[in-house]
Each structure stands twice: as C-alpha cells, then as structure tokens.
Amino acid sequence: MFSQQNSNAHNIFCERALKDLNILLGNAAPPDSKVIVFLDKNIYLALERMNILANAAIGRKNLVGFFRFQENVDYLFAQYVIYFLTPDVEKLRTFVIHLLSYTHHFPKAVPHVYFVPQKPLMIEKILEGDFKLKETFSQLKIGEFDFDIISLVEDLFSMEQPLVFKHLFIDRDTTSLKWIARLLLKLQSSHFGAIPIIRGKGRNAARVVNILERMQDEVGQEFLNNIPSEVEALYIVDRTIDLVTPLMTQLTYEGLIDEFYDISCGEVTFPFSLNENVSSGSPSSQTVVLDSSDKVFSEIRDKNFVTVGSILYQKSVWVKNHYERRKEVRQLKELKEFMKGLPEMQEYHRMISQHTVIASEIGKITQGLEFRKRIQVEQYIIQQMNDKEVFEFIEDMINRKESFSYVLRILSLYSLVNGGLRSKEYDFFKESLMLSNGIPQVMNAFSTLESCGALTKYEGKTNYPLLRKKFRTWNASLKEQQPDDIAYAYSGYSSLLIRLFEKLLLSVQSESTVDNILNLIPGEKSEIRNAVEVVGDPRAIMFFVIGGLTAAELSSLRFIQTQMSNAGKYRRIIIVTTDICSGKRLLASIIPFDLET
C-alpha cells in the first residue's frame, strides 16, 4: 500500500508520462491513421505497471495496439509504425532489421522512433550515418520520450534502466549520468523540494553530483523555494563500491524468485503452473505480477526462505479456521457479515495456494546438495577461507559443464574479495573454460569482466578484510528464524552497501561521523549544499544507487527501517535506483552473448 507521499509521487509521475505519451502519439500520426507501437520490454512493463498504456489507448480507435519489441515482426497492418527504445548502440541493428522487415511487408508505413528517456546524439548519428535511415525513410522522426522513473512500492523508485551498469563500466558512456542528474533535479523541483545536503560516493556518483550542481546553477534559486523540503539528505553511491553483493545468491523469498526465474518490473514467468491441482492440460508456464496488491507476497517477500514454508502453513491453517466459522453462524446478521468478507478471504486463500506452489518449486532446488554446496562455497569466499575447497568446486562445475554464467559469477566473487586470482588459478580456469565453452566466448567474457574490475589477476593486498571488519559484513551468530540483523537476507552475509546506508542513517546529523564513514570506502566523493530548511516530521533520507540494487538489499533496508521504528527512531527512507538487479542479469547485461547456452 502506498503512503500519502508515495501515492502523490506515483500520481504525478503517471500523469506526466501519460500526457507526454499522448502528445507524442498525437504528433506522430493523424487521428484517422492506423498506428502500431513497439516498445522495449522494460519500457513496456514500466508503462503497463503504471496503467499508462491502457489509458493512452482510450479513445484511439485506430490504434492497432502496444506490443513488446522483439526480433520477430508482428505483421499487423498500420500506416504508422512507432518504436520506443532504450538507447543502446548494440541493439540498433536489431531495430533496423525489424523496421526494414515491417516496411517490406507494408511499404507505405511511415516509421518513427523515440528513445527513452533521451536521444543521445551518437545514436542519431549512427541511424542517419551508418544505416542511412533518413535517406530510406524521408518522413522518419527520431525523437525522445522523457520517461525516467516509476514507483514500484512505497518509497521505492526505479528508472528501469538495466543497461546503465554496462554503459558506464563497459562502454565508458557517461550519458546516463546526465539522465540521473536531470532526474534528481526534477525530483527536487517537482516533488520533494530542495535537499540541503547531497553527497556522492564513488567515481560516477561524484560526477552526478557535479553535473547536478551545474544544472542547479543554471536553473537558479527558483527551484529552491517552490516546494517545501521533505528530504534531509541525499546520498548517491556507485554500485562499484560493492560489486560483491550482486554476485552473492539472494536468500530472501523475493530474492530467490529473482535468482531462479527473473523478475522484471514486478513481472515473472514461472516454468510451471501455479494451480495446485494441475491437470494434464494445464499450461506449462504462467506469468504473474508480484506487487503490493498481493497481500501474501507483501508479507513474505522479505523473509529468509527457510521461514517461508512455516509462515504459509500457518496462514493456510488460519484460513481453514476462518471457513470453519461458517458452521458456528446462527443468525442472519452474522451470516451477512461472513458472506461480505468471503470474496476477500477466497482471494487471500488463492494467493496462499499460489505462493505455496512457488515455494515448493524453489524448495526442490534449495534442498538439493548442489545448491547447498553453492551457498557454502560463497560463504567460504566471503570469509576468505578454504580456498582449496572453493577451487575444487569451481573446477568440478567446469568439468560438468555447469552454467557458464554461474562459473563466471563465482570466479568474479572470489576475485573481488581477494584482490584477484593468482596467475596459476587464473590461467588454469581460463584454459579449462576455453575447452568447455569455446575460445572466443571465454576470451570475450574475461576481457569484459576485467575491464570493470570484476575478474582480474592478483596484483597486491586487498582491503576487503578491513571493510569486512569495519562494516561487519559477516555475522556468524545469525538467527534466521527471528533475525535481529540484516545479514539474514544472505544467511550470514550483509551487503556492504546496505551497511553503509545503515551507518549513514544512524549518523546523518553528525557531519564529522558521516565524513569518517564515507572515507572508509575507497572512491571519489563530492557534495552540494543548498540553503534550505527541512519541514515536517518524520524527516526523510534518500539514497540513490547507480548500477542497481538487489531485491535482498531492498529487504535489508526495509528491515532496518522496521528496527529503527521499533526502537522509536523511525525515519522515512526513500530509495531511488537505476534498476533492480541480480548477479545473473548484471553479467548478462555486460557480456554480449547468451551465457546460458
């Protein structure tokens, strides 16, 4: 359920996006022309989640429909074909092939393409120079759609830009930093008010702060005074200050769903039916949206998976007992009350059944010897112990031709924690992978991971032991059933990034303490100070993560907020991120071939 502030933000974002989309569609084609629209998956899901596509379709009788952009062309006739795409150079060829195929089928179709949230000059030059689209299609419009943020759950906002990490750390393209700075300026000027202290930690975070400062100077003092300031401080951080956490296996309920089945803007496709009474004719897969409207999911999403089974069982017993109350009803008034609540109870029962199926399927994996060994090895790496057993596990995975993606993930995890692999192990694993996965793929993958610092040869002592000690990233005395620490989300390990946020939350009013905390972590830093006073209570703290947050990290943040509230120190925590990431998706975004084949 949205808070009042969050609901207002959600409505503002929806209204603005719908208005801009209607203007674009109205300008792209005459009202009486048939129009077909293709959108990148992440853009489609974000707009669909905000109900914008349904509202934009109202009154458009000649709209053929909104479709997800895929390599195969949907041959439905339209006079105008419109694309909304994420600006990614590597995907331009796929777009051009799609467009040429469509217009070959319907030669008179007029194409337009809009890049989200902005149109980089380089993209336009490639389309016009390399692909000669302006010469081929004289009426082609190349524009942009300023859609850069959605509200996922209470006080959680995402840009839904899963390629930001790739653009910054592989392509060395800093365009997205301008998008982030522009978004933060809009959030201040249109919703949260000016923020007194804005700090950036990490190279790209510091750049965003510097860009934002220039933008604020260009706008002038007007933006400081229009809206009361709600946010006490904004901390912008780089994912690269903690690349370890995305590579760890998430162990919350939502985290494991994301690990095994991939959640995209709340949507997930399970390779099985969610109906407990499966018949032979039941679908072999089912797509659902997991969000706050699912009350059962809201209650268990943040739990460590080992507790989920017992929680679902208790809920099913409670529902059964509620149904049994029907037998005790004696008066008409009581019967009416019971029947009034019956539809809601039946829906709740359906949700319990659905999540019982999901949990059962996940349990089949997590109870297996292979998965338990995987978690054990990850924990060995984090504690920097039992290297021999770790290397034997990796070698065995390669010999059995297990997932190339996970082998790269575990190698990168070891490298990040230990400051690289020693030459002997590095060369051995690289050669072994070449034999099982092919020389070009392995050379490309190792080169890519090295360029972002994830997989390197050992070059000297690492500072990870110091960070582990200073930020308590390992908790050996964790209570999973009744957790009292954020380490529950990874069964003993806690995200360095979230530990940093935790320390900042507890020290936000002490500038010297904040400086000392930020100095513990390597990387550039920068700050802005705006001469404004924060109004209202409770005061809010905003965190922005460049490069994505995992579902388990978000669970950890909600846990911190609950703990602070229980201790009488409640703070509103607002999270903004470029996307919700996982180790699998992070690797898939930067390595230009399918890691699962």
- β-pair partners for 238: 546
The encoded tokens of residue 151 equal 């509200």
Compute the distance between CA of residue 427 and CA of residue 425 in angstroms, rounded to an integer.
Answer: 6
The answer on pLDDT for 1 being more than 60 is no
Please state whether 41 falls in left (phi above 0), alpha (psi between -120 and 50) or beta.
alpha
pLDDT tens-digit map of 361-417:
999 999 999 999 999 999 999 999 999 999 999 999 999 999 999 999 999 999 999
271 within a domain of the structure (yes/no): yes
Judgement on whether residues 398 and 513 belong to the same structural domain of the protein: no
Judgement on whether residues 480 and 574 belong to the same structural domain of the protein: yes
Judgement on whether residues 80 and 18 belong to the same structural domain of the protein: yes
Q: How confident is the model at residue 225 (pLDDT cuts 50, 70, 90)?
A: low
DSSP codes, 511-540: HHHHHHHHHTS-S-EEEEE----B-SSS-E
CATH code at 18? Answer: 3.40.50.2060
Give the pLDDT mean for 274-287: 74
The answer on pLDDT for 280 being more than 60 is no
Question: What is the structure's pLDDT at 268?
Answer: 97
CATH code at 320? Answer: 3.90.830.10
Q: How confident is the model at residue 322 (pLDDT cuts 50, 70, 90)?
A: confident
Judgement on whether residues 108 and 53 belong to the same structural domain of the protein: yes
Q: How far is CA 567 from CA 196, 224, 471, 509, 558, in A?
A: 26, 34, 21, 18, 14
Q: 386 CB contacts (<8 Å, ≥6 apart)?
A: 380
Compute the distance between CA of residue 38 and CA of residue 131 in angstroms, rounded to an integer.
Answer: 20
Domain final residue pick, 460, 492, 516: 460
Q: 206 CB contacts (<8 Å, ≥6 apart)?
A: 200, 523, 524, 525, 526
Judgement on whether residues 202 and 232 belong to the same structural domain of the protein: yes
The answer on pLDDT for 281 being more than 50 is yes
Question: Strands 156-158 and 150-153, how do they pair?
Answer: antiparallel
Lowest mean pLDDT among 150-164, 381-395, 415-429: 150-164
595 within a domain of the structure (yes/no): no
52 within a domain of the structure (yes/no): yes
404 within a domain of the structure (yes/no): yes
What kind and span of H or E run contains 103?
helix 92-105
Domain containing 127: what range? 4-147
510 within a domain of the structure (yes/no): yes
Q: Are 241 and 201 in contact (CB under 8 A)?
A: yes
DSSP codes, 248-269: SPP-BHHHHHHHHH--BTTEEE
Task: Please state the three-class secondary structure of 233-245 as a single string.
Answer: EEEEEEHHHHCHH
State the residue for tokens 């179709």. 109
Question: What is the structure's pLDDT at 278?
Answer: 61
The answer on pLDDT for 191 being more than 90 is no
Q: Are 562 and 488 in contact (CB under 8 A)?
A: no
Strand order in the sheet with 197-201: 150-153, 156-158, 572-577, 540-546, 231-238, 197-201, 525-529
Q: How confident is the model at residue 4 (pLDDT cuts 50, 70, 90)?
A: very low
Torsion angles phi and psi, residue 65, rounded to 5: 150, 165
Compute the distance between CA of residue 396 and CA of residue 402 in angstroms, rounded to an integer.
Answer: 9
The answer on pLDDT for 578 being more than 90 is yes
Question: What is the structure's pLDDT at 283?
Answer: 64
Judgement on whether residues 34 and 108 belong to the same structural domain of the protein: yes
Give the pLDDT mean for 240-244: 96
Domain final residue pick, 324, 348, 366: 366
Torsion angles phi and psi, residue 511, rounded to 5: -65, -40
Judgement on whether residues 26 and 135 belong to the same structural domain of the protein: yes
Q: 85 CB contacts (<8 Å, ≥6 apart)?
A: 39, 40, 43, 69, 91, 95, 113, 114, 115, 116
Domain count for the chain = 4
Q: How far is CA 109 from CA 99, 130, 488, in A?
A: 10, 22, 55
The answer on pLDDT for 326 being more than 70 is no
CATH code at 208? Answer: 3.40.50.1910
What is the CB neighbour count within 10 angstroms for residue 7?
13
Question: What is the structure's pLDDT at 470?
Answer: 93
Judgement on whether residues 195 and 288 belong to the same structural domain of the protein: no
* E strands in 321-458: none
Give the pLDDT mean for 280-308: 90
Lowest mean pLDDT among 108-112, 325-329, 535-539, 541-545: 325-329
The answer on pLDDT for 311 being more than 90 is yes
Judgement on whether residues 160 and 222 belong to the same structural domain of the protein: yes
Judgement on whether residues 477 and 456 belong to the same structural domain of the protein: no
465 within a domain of the structure (yes/no): no
Domain final residue pick, 147, 169, 185: 147
Judgement on whether residues 403 and 494 belong to the same structural domain of the protein: no
| Residues of the chain above pLDDT 70, percent | 94
Give the pLDDT mean for 321-348: 73
The answer on pLDDT for 2 being more than 60 is no
Top pLDDT among 205 and 506 is at 205
The answer on pLDDT for 5 being more than 60 is no
The answer on pLDDT for 228 being more than 70 is yes
Give the pLDDT mean for 554-564: 96
Q: How far is CA 442 from CA 26, 161, 415, 546, 585, in A?
A: 48, 27, 16, 27, 18
Give the pLDDT mean for 163-177: 94
pLDDT tens-digit map of 461-480:
889 999 999 999 999 888 87
pLDDT tens-digit map of 29-88:
999 999 999 999 999 999 999 999 999 999 899 999 999 998 676 789 999 999 999 999
Judgement on whether residues 234 and 260 belong to the same structural domain of the protein: no
Top pLDDT among 324 and 30 is at 30
Q: Give me the count of residues in the chain.
A: 597
Compute the distance between CA of residue 488 and CA of residue 143 in angstroms, rounded to an integer.
Answer: 46
The encoded tokens of residue 255 equal 């985290």
163 within a domain of the structure (yes/no): yes
596 within a domain of the structure (yes/no): no
pLDDT tens-digit map of 482-500:
899 999 999 999 999 999 9
Question: What is the structure's pLDDT at 318?
Answer: 87
